A and B are shown apart, each in its own frame.
Chain A
Amino acid sequence: MATDQLDTENADRNLTSQVTVLTHTPNAASPSMVQGMVAFGDGAKNLDGSGGLFEFTITIAGQTVQGDPQQIQFSTAVRSSVWTVPFPVPANTEVILKAKSPNAADTDVDVTAYLYGVGPLYGPTVYRRRGLLLGVYP
């Protein structure tokens, strides 16, 4: 079964300070279950390869999802990606994904962010996924 791509945004980003990589309102009339994915580097404009603790922030309707920021240890791969866990979004509310690199050389990186509609879900598989958006998962 195909997954709905709600939005994708591509740009060359300066990741040395927190930058918005995607802004989208999934559904004006109904709640949605969504999952984000962000790809860094495209073979031409890559990460500098230092790795380290990258930071992610997600807001839903202007509310910052906690704990924040979500930190992900990146390897030295110059083309990397992260995804969020699936999360619910009330009707007519805006989702924003933001990212930040710890590396001063990451001033011009190709970044593509995606937002997918993934619900309704059947739970067990999502528990095993490792993502950046931890919510209240212990």
Chain B
Amino acid sequence: MAIDLLDTENADRNLTAQVTVLTDTPHATNNILCQGLVFFGDGTKNLDGTGGAFELTITVGGQTVEPDPQGIHFSAAVRAAVFTYIFPVPANKEVIIKAKSPNGADTDVDVTAYLFDIS
């Protein structure tokens, strides 16, 4: 069954410090149920393959969603994906997704972030 893609953003990112990978305001007047998905690596600009504890941060309307950061243990895969909780977004609130790698070599990684409306 189809769902709506609210936003997708692609860029080469320096993940050694926390970096914003997606910014979107789902709807100006309606509350929305959202889920994020982030791809790291594209076959050319990949993760360095060390793995370890990556961190994600989500803010909704400027509020940092807790607990924060969300720690995800990555395997040695050089192309990886994570998805978020399904979470509610009040009308006219901005969602920001941020990511950070624990590995000093992840200075130039292709990152594609998606935000879906699943309500």
Contacts and interface: CB of A to CB of B under 8 A. Distances in A.
B114 A88 contact: yes
B3 A88 contact: yes
Nearest to B112: A90
A65 B70 CA distance: 15
A91 B85 CA distance: 20
Nearest to B1: A117
What secondary structure prevails in chain B residues at the interface with A?
strand
A117 to B, nearest CB: 4
Interface residues of B, number: 37
A59 B93 CA distance: 31
What secondary structure prevails in chain A residues at the interface with B?
loop
Nearest to B69: A136
Interface string A53-68: 0000001111111111
Interface stretch (A7-15, A16-24, A101-109, A121-129): A121-129
Given A91-B5, A126-B86, A68 B77 contact: yes
Interface string A104-138: 00000000000001111111001100000001111
Interface of A: 4, 27, 30-33, 59-69, 86-88, 90-91, 117-123, 126-127, 135-138
